[in-house]
Each structure stands twice: as C-alpha cells, then as structure tokens.
Amino acid sequence: MTDGLMSKAATMEIPIHGNGDSRRLAEDDGLEQDLQQVMVSGPNLNETSIVSGGYGGTAEGIIPTSAIKGSSLHQQHPNPALAGEEATRGIAVEKFDVVKKWGINTYKCTKQLISERFGRGSRTVDLELETQIELLRDTKRKYESVLGLARALTSHFYSLVQTQHALADAFSDLSQKSPELQEEFGYNAETQKLLCKNGETLLGAVNFFVSSINTLVNKTMEDTLMTIKQYETARLEYDAYRTDLEELNLGPRDASTLCRLDAAQAHFQAHRAKYEKLRADVAVKLKFLEENKVKVMHKQLLLFHNAISAYFAGNQQQLEQTLKQFNIKLKSPGAEKPSWLEEP
C-alpha cells in the first residue's frame, strides 16, 4: 500500500549517475550553494515554537511558546521558586526539541542532496514543469540584459540631450554677439532646441519602457521565482523522506522498526502534500506570468518601436502622438537626471 501511494505521488523518479565531464567544477559550486541553502534556515530560539517539518517549513503544526508557558503559570504551585524552575526547564526542553527536529530534517535533506549530486540516489522530476522553470530563468536573464541595455541607452541619450541643450545656448549667445553670423548661429540654435525637445519626448517613452520592463523582471518574475524556490525546497524534503521510508521498508519488521515506520510514513505524507501543493502553485503562477508577460511586452515593444522610429524620422507630431497613445506625461525640463517620465 505504501509503495502504491509513493508511486502515485512521485511524478517521475529519475536515478542519477555521476560523470566526469568538464561540468564537475560548476556542479561542485552548485552543490556548495545548495548546501548553504539547506543550512541557512536554522531554528529561531528567541521565538521558540515546536515545528513539525524542517528548514523552510511553514507555520503549520506550530505550538506557540506562550501556550506552554501559560499552561505552566496557571497551575497552582505552593513554592514560587519551584514554579519558576519548572517553567525554565519546560522552555529548555522545548528549545532542545526544536533544535533536534531541525537537525534531523537538515541531515536528511543534506544527505539527499549529496546523494543526488554524486549519482547514488533518485529525485522526483516533473519534466514539463522543470522545462518551464528553466525557460523562465533563461527568459529572466535575457530580459535583464535588455533592461541593462535600455538603461544604458537612456543614460547616453540623456547626456546627448544635455549636450544639445548646451550647444543651443552657445549658438544663441554667439548669434547676439556676432552680427555678421547672426542668422547662421540663430538657425543652428533653433535646430538644437528642437532636437532637445524631441529628445526629451523620446526619453519619456524610453523611461516608460525601462520602468515597465523593470517591474516585469524584478517584481513579477521574481515573485514567481520565489515560489519556485519554495517548491524546489519542498521537492528536496519530499525526496529525503521518501528515501527514508523506502530504506525502512527494506529493513526488518520488529516492534521498534514498525514504530519508526509509522512515523516515517506520517512525515512522508505531510511532505508529499506540501510538495504537491507548491507544484500546483508554481504551475498556476507560470501560466499567469506568461499571459502577463505577453500582454506587457506587446504594449512596450510597440511603444519603443513607434517612439524610436518617429524620433529618427524627425516626425515630432508622431512622436508626441505616441506618448499620448500610451498616456505618458513629461516632467518639466528642470527635472533632475535621468527621468523625464511621469506616469499617470
């Protein structure tokens, strides 16, 4: 019966075999990072509570310290010193229990992680979901690159507009002080002023583009990736307790082992439920993220294309119309670097 439950819970168990290719060094670095992740969530002994589960666990199954202390304090004790001693002993036992449970869970997860990395174990794999997760991480890296380039463009173009503004002022000053070249300096000054005005309009569009991509990458995608990290932690815990249960099932069936087997089965069921819930959460978030990404990028790429095209074609009317189309308002020219953007 246990085997049947486990086969239904696991999407796919893939045995892992070690290899000696050139990726070993990178894998070792990844192993070190994963081990640090396993160890990072230690027990909080200042806010002590008894937790069923392990590192990275939720608040489910928590017995607050206040409940324990409260029950002790409401008992009748003829000797106040004895009551205080019992309360202190209760807190110490509770903290020891928290550390013990955290240590056992961390040991199991570390053992599972090392076993996977060195090809001596198996891990549960949802091929479709993991493909989508890897695609999201790759997409985020590429969007981060686009975001960096767009910010660089904004910075360089802002410098260009400032230079054109200074050049317009210089031409205008010389026009007044050079009667023989007044006309030539005059129309060059007007040309630079017009370029400044169009440049400021384009900066508004590009800044809006940068702001929207930044929100998509560093808020929307990052939120989904945080859920994915929780899912990956739950997957590791699930496989650790699955492996533990499998090993116990292969051992002798005496009274002591049967007791441990019941406990292992309960832990396995709890971690399987947590894993499956987070797997479903990730699938939903990935679906909505993809829909949102397409909607946002369709609008932003259209804006970027129309604004850039209108600016370099010298079409001031079309450039201003593009900003109106996307409800972008410009700040006054006295605004500080680099943004001319004021979102509605």
Q: What is the pTM of this model?
A: 0.68
- pLDDT of res. 308: 95
Q: Which residues in the chain show pLDDT less than 70?
A: 1-84, 87, 89, 93, 96-97, 331-344
- pLDDT of res. 26: 52
Query: pLDDT over 90 for what percent of the chain?
Result: 47
Q: What is the pLDDT of residues 9-57, one digit of tens each?
A: 446 665 554 444 444 445 555 555 665 555 555 555 554 433 334 444 4
| Cα–Cα dist 241/269, whole Å | 9
| Cα–Cα dist 174/177, whole Å | 5
In terms of Cβ atoms closer than 10 Å to its own Cβ (0-12, 13-18, 19+), residue 238 is buried
In terms of Cβ atoms closer than 10 Å to its own Cβ (0-12, 13-18, 19+), residue 292 is middle
User: For the stretch 31-51, what's the b/e string if a residue is b when 16 or more beta carbons lie within 10 angstroms of its beta carbon?
Assistant: eeebbebbeeeebeeeebbbb
Residue 274's nearest CA partner among 148, 154, 132, 105 is 105
Render 127-159 in DSSP notation, one character per residue: HHHHHHHHHHHHHHHHHHHHHHHHHHHHHHHHH
Q: What is the pLDDT of residues 117-126, one digit of tens each?
A: 877 778 888 9
| Cα–Cα dist 275/232, whole Å | 8
- pLDDT of res. 116: 75
φ/ψ of 311, rounded to 5, equals: -65, -50
- Whether 230 contacts 256, CB under 8 Å: no
